[in-house]
Amino acid sequence: MTAGRDLLAEVLRAAGARAVPDRDDHDVVFQAAKTAWQRSLRAQRRRRWTLALAAAAAAMAIGVTSLVHRITARAPVVATAVVMHGSVVTRAPKGDTWRPLRLGEPIAAGSRVRTGSVAGLALEMAGGLSARLDEKSELEMDSDRSLRLTSGALYVDTGPVPAAVALRVETAHGTVSDVGTVFQVEVRPTAVRVRVREGLVQLDAAGRAGRLRSGAGEEMELDDRGNLRRGIVPPTHSAWAWAEALAPPPDVEGRPLLQFLDWVAHETGRRVRFEAPDVEAQAREVVLHGKTHDLTPLQALDVMLSTTDLEYVLSADQVILIRKRSG
């Protein structure tokens, strides 16, 4: 140990005394060190603020989730948000604050949902039916079989088999109920309009004796004076386009093309026809792969057929004609 210390002393003596920097160099070095130290402190403060904000955001998210869970624990879940476009907000049962609705969020009985401009919402109801809300619309979810449309337009697909309890859509002008159908209800300040794509609907008008009925391809409009107007609205009419754009995409992975064609036909109000028997035979062998998110039914069909040597065209009578790809 002594030899080690003597060797160190010899090295220091050989190096000689360190040069003393002049005053200007000393100030430059000191200022640089001070600036670096201050930057380090500011960086530490920023990191602490960032962590604090992240923690606050996480706590808020947990709080919202916890609130949703508490609400749904008290009231039965009647629907789930499955497709959303644009701004969509919701209000809890007996609440007075609107907040953004999240995709996949369960909606409790008594909740309200509202869509903004250039927006839309598709709901999967607890009873299995599909409900879609157009832009600038507001809907109260009384139960999975009772809805209250305050404003805007609502599209409902109750499925091919009538439920034991009919779906009721309450409006200020009357109550619309289904008999196993696909229909649309539009509320205006002074009137209600009902369009039927499939099946049959009934309208019990406020202040009017008797029940009004409308079938597939028909519409009826009742104003607040009791005046009734009827008309024709084909299942391929542009009035259905907004609802088609909100159609929840099916799971196509590993599914046959014919099953997908049935979905497209149902969602667009069209029939499917094959150009020739051999085309149909070929279509029966096609198994699909991929996803169709954020596409209309016809756009999705175009994408799915792009991986085959088949294509579709819309005939003059709006039939979806499947044929072999030209060229």
- What is the structure's pLDDT at 204? 92
pLDDT of 201 above 70: yes
pLDDT single digits (tens) 123-154 = 999 878 999 999 999 999 999 899 999 999 99
pLDDT single digits (tens) 210-250 = 789 999 999 999 998 889 999 999 999 999 999 999 999 99
Count how many Cα atoms sit within 13 Å of the Cα of residue 277 in the half-sphere of its side chain. 0
**Average pLDDT in the 111-117 region?**
97
| Residue type at position 133 | L
- C-alpha 193/C-alpha 181 separation (Å) is 16
- What is the structure's pLDDT at 174? 93
- Of 20-29, 291-300, 305-314, the one with minimum mean pLDDT is 20-29
Count how many Cα atoms sit within 13 Å of the Cα of residue 47 in the half-sphere of its side chain. 6
| Residue type at position 265 | A
Instruction: Using pLDDT thresholds of 50, 70 and 90, give the confidence band for residue 300.
Output: very high
- Of 47-61, 113-127, 238-252, 291-305, the one with minimum mean pLDDT is 47-61
The percent of residues above 70 in pLDDT, for the chain, comes to 76
Instruction: Using pLDDT thresholds of 50, 70 and 90, give the confidence band for residue 64.
Output: very low
pLDDT single digits (tens) 66-99 = 454 454 446 899 999 999 999 999 999 988 999 9
- C-alpha 192/C-alpha 264 separation (Å) is 29
Burial 218-247 (b: 16+ CB within 10 A, else e): bbbbbeeeeeeeeeebebbeebbebbbbbb
pLDDT of 8 above 60: no
- What is the structure's pLDDT at 293? 83
